[in-house]
Structure 1
């Protein structure tokens, strides 16, 4: 009811009541001399205002109509009604609007009407000119489930001084922490579990779900020193809680209409339970932070920085006087680290495994490279975990990872759109001040005006001097979003332990089938594995 009253008051403030009274006395008063007539006219005016509001929300603003747009109803149909995979939406709605010169279009989403850019030069401007393209203020989404997870003050959403405060602590931690040993030990636990649970030399499993379990353990240990034990225990309590939380983030109705979270969640009993699950998870994180603070007062500086978790490194920097964050700010950063280190890496690994399954010749070439580096004296039938230095020698494997991130990257577009702080021109297209602009990474990577034969998986395009290198000077044509070091460790050890392929009649035979939310995920990606030793 309060929302209705606010809407009425907002429109009432826009009306020139003096002019309205004159008009009413001259033309309408004689027709409203009974209560019934006044009610009828009042309802008609209310409906007119509602229709006007709907029209304004579903029609591009006048100052942006020179940009090609996707209709409001097409957006709703693809995302919420039909729930088409991202690739289908791209081919049907986006690709036809990506001309060679501008490669941009207008589309409605939860933020309103947003300009999506998919041209390397425009992408570079949006990323590099933060004074003209500052991040959108996310505070208006306060009260939603996702906002409660990442908070409003985190390293991803902030601008200017506040962003630098977070970055000052996080950046050194990222540079010092490269837990290759942890990645390898987690991978070894994974293979031990697979061998235990699958008798014989062949088995089939949902690889996407497996990677979600593995990467959750890794981000727990690498991020803040907590082991979810989801690899060794599929029924791990915290794994179940986190799964329920991530599924709740993907619900289209609440993504597109955040007001349902903010004002009307009491109408959705399952949503209330999802908030309780998130609160339980957040309480666990707070407990970890409190414990870390107590321990570090007595043990600052001990141990190998490269293998320390990010939270420990950030708190150590704080104790050295390099900056300070509140617990809520740390919680927000941990939420972002979860998304960046778990969901994105799980899909990146799934996509790489998928393309290696589809291209056995590429898989074998990568296996030979890995074996030559890890076992230079000949193939040995034993576990060999790569060192940090050895992962840098995986030239061809690195090309595979980069190409997988291009053709099926982990993130569809920027999590936080930018807004124009002044009138600006992008690729000769005028964009007025206070316009939302987003880099659409999926469109950029599949833009036929940017990449040759973009729907074909071809790691050679990332070879030295090849297509990717040739494009490097012309803006930003490749925008990865994942942990490459972790992928090198997992893929190199997988190549040593197994060969794999897609089952017959796989629904993924033509292309990987994904969801359509901001963070990509594979739908029931069954893969057949064959033990090598």
Structure 2
């Protein structure tokens, strides 16, 4: 069902919200503490709250959606009323191109049809051995770490980047990792600054920020274009008796096609690769960082998860088939993603006046779906700040609204790589828990909102090696 009826509009109300600063509205609060602001205004004003930000004449108005039912309407049942035409998505598209994350309409549907076969459960499960090897390399390196002191955020970013680069590029892993580590942070910061600035200078202006972002973007594009060209050349040279073509995602992308949609162009392949790099690296790194951090704070949960891993696996490495046999470890991961969703907020623009949860969002208005606050909604999560993996027991999940937990979004634009992320995370946690006891200090962690959840301070942990046979 899409659109609104006269009865809907008549019964709807204007969203409440704080007046904020006389000049800048709620902009100072949002910049200082966006996550805390979302939780506070939900408590004070309800499940849909109107926030204004910026000076008069340049003031932006956003409708924050804090309920599972509202999220479901925006993302699923009334998704045709909303588009990815927000400032943030325009900035992401300017950097990453028109891949699955930012493309729309027929372009998106065509890309999704071409790429979906690469992310079937069977295909993704075939990457388990490579993921295990990367997790094993982390374990070996950690055993040589003085005092076992690590920054989990740095370590998990490094691990997931190596893992996703291996799956994407195969043998090109080392050169690719170096280029990505140097350039993605530059682009991420540039996207965030421009997304939340009322006045954005044209990207063609030679400002220091534009020039820095341009160099980073060019380096990433050059990396992807070079590897795509090499793969296409390899496929063209391959004869009947040569080894089978590669099974990394880039090789599969270069061969993806069907009679109706054709094949992906080199530029389209590059755009998909860039999206896979950021979505498959930063988001999973965040989930693993906080899963390990929370386990380090809750030794009884950690021991229960470890006992499950050792009972199920013994001394052998995990496989994709073991996921269903590790339910408690999966619950730990899901609860970590509830408390620290890698995508804490994302926006859509209303293409027509639409009523969501009895509140009118005007045509052209922006709806911000806020998983950070939805995951803390007391109507659906008792004592929401408490870490409790048993929230995700099957019987408790069945009694909860579908969109009360949405770390991968939802509806027709739900994340295509969610099974890959869950597989990578569970396999890695199993390897780390078998090898180490994790202790986390009580120091606070600085968080912010960017393209993904931003960790602004080290996430310290001490890793105590466990005895090995």
The TM-score by the shorter chain falls in which range?
Answer: 0.7 to 0.9
1:514 equivalent in structure 2: 447
2:383 equivalent in structure 1: 453
SS in 2 for 1:348: helix
| Structure 2 contact 187–217 (Cα < 8 Å) conserved | no
Instruction: Describe the shift of the 1:349–1:300 C-alpha distance in structure 2 as closer, same or farther (beyond 3 A).
Output: farther
Q: Of 67, 71, 96, which residue of structure 2 is paired with 1:123?
A: 71
Query: In the TM superposition, what is the alpha-carbon distance from 1:367 to its structure 2 partner?
Result: 0.0
Distance across 2 between alignment mates of 1:519 and 1:411: 5
| Structure 2 contact 13–358 (Cα < 8 Å) conserved | no
Query: In the TM superposition, what is the alpha-carbon distance from 1:303 to its structure 2 partner?
Result: 8.5
1:484 aligns with 2:422: yes
Instruction: Describe the shift of the 1:300–1:480 C-alpha distance in structure 2 as closer, same or farther (beyond 3 A).
Output: farther
SS in 1 for 2:403: coil
CA-to-aligned-CA distance 1:145-166 (integer Å, 9 cap, x gap): x433311x22122333211110
Instruction: Describe the shift of the 1:155–1:393 C-alpha distance in structure 2 as closer, same or farther (beyond 3 A).
Output: same
Distance across 2 between alignment mates of 1:262 and 1:225: 37
Instruction: Describe the shift of the 1:261–1:385 C-alpha distance in structure 2 as closer, same or farther (beyond 3 A).
Output: farther
| Structure 1 contact 132–420 (Cα < 8 Å) conserved | no
Distance across 2 between alignment mates of 1:79 and 1:518: 15
| Structure 1 contact 412–441 (Cα < 8 Å) conserved | yes
Higher relative contact order (CA 8 A, sep 6+): 2
Q: Of 148, 152, 166, which residue of structure 2 is paired with 1:207?
A: 152
1:160 aligns with 2:105: yes
SS in 2 for 1:465: helix
1:494 aligns with 2:442: no
Instruction: Describe the shift of the 1:75–1:312 C-alpha distance in structure 2 as closer, same or farther (beyond 3 A).
Output: farther
| Structure 1 contact 422–434 (Cα < 8 Å) conserved | yes
| Structure 2 contact 41–49 (Cα < 8 Å) conserved | no
Show structure 1 runs of 5+ residues with no match: 1-62
Q: Of 202, 205, 212, which residue of structure 2 is paired with 1:262?
A: 202
Show structure 2 runs of 5+ residues with no match: 1-11, 409-417
Q: Of 444, 450, 459, which residue of structure 2 is paired with 1:525?
A: 459
SS in 1 for 2:63: strand
Instruction: Describe the shift of the 1:293–1:342 C-alpha distance in structure 2 as closer, same or farther (beyond 3 A).
Output: same
1:24 equivalent in structure 2: none
Distance across 2 between alignment mates of 1:118 and 1:513: 23
SS in 1 for 2:325: coil
Query: In the TM superposition, what is the alpha-carbon distance from 1:263 to its structure 2 partner?
Result: 5.0
1:344 aligns with 2:283: yes
**Cα RMSD, aligned residues only:** 3.1
Instruction: Describe the shift of the 1:446–1:238 C-alpha distance in structure 2 as closer, same or farther (beyond 3 A).
Output: same
2:27 equivalent in structure 1: 76
CA-to-aligned-CA distance 1:199-248 (integer Å, 9 cap, x gap): 5xx41111100111111111111123354449xx9xx7425423543553
| Structure 1 contact 356–362 (Cα < 8 Å) conserved | yes
Q: Of 216, 234, 248, which residue of structure 2 is paired with 1:309?
A: 248
Distance across 1 between alignment mates of 2:210 and 2:364: 33
| Structure 1 contact 289–327 (Cα < 8 Å) conserved | yes
| Structure 2 contact 74–356 (Cα < 8 Å) conserved | no
Q: Of 470, 473, 479, which residue of structure 1 is paired with 2:399?
A: 470
Instruction: Describe the shift of the 1:494–1:169 C-alpha distance in structure 2 as closer, same or farther (beyond 3 A).
Output: same
Of residues 329-338 and 211-220 in structure 1, the stretch that sits farther from structure 2 once superposed is 329-338
| Structure 1 contact 106–113 (Cα < 8 Å) conserved | yes
2:339 equivalent in structure 1: 407
| Structure 1 contact 500–530 (Cα < 8 Å) conserved | yes
1:221 aligns with 2:166: yes
Query: In the TM superposition, what is the alpha-carbon distance from 1:356 to its structure 2 partner?
Result: 0.4
Instruction: Describe the shift of the 1:385–1:140 C-alpha distance in structure 2 as closer, same or farther (beyond 3 A).
Output: closer
Query: In the TM superposition, what is the alpha-carbon distance from 1:282 to its structure 2 partner?
Result: 1.5
SS in 2 for 1:177: helix
Distance across 1 between alignment mates of 2:213 and 2:40: 33
CA-to-aligned-CA distance 1:260-307 (integer Å, 9 cap, x gap): 452575343x542332122112111111111122223355999899x9
Query: In the TM superposition, what is the alpha-carbon distance from 1:74 to its structure 2 partner?
Result: 5.5
SS in 1 for 2:206: helix
Distance across 2 between alignment mates of 1:111 and 1:310: 43
Distance across 2 between alignment mates of 1:326 and 1:88: 43
Q: How many residues align?
A: 435
1:48 equivalent in structure 2: none
Tell me the TM-score normalised to structure 2 length: 0.83
SS in 2 for 1:528: strand
Instruction: Describe the shift of the 1:408–1:79 C-alpha distance in structure 2 as closer, same or farther (beyond 3 A).
Output: same
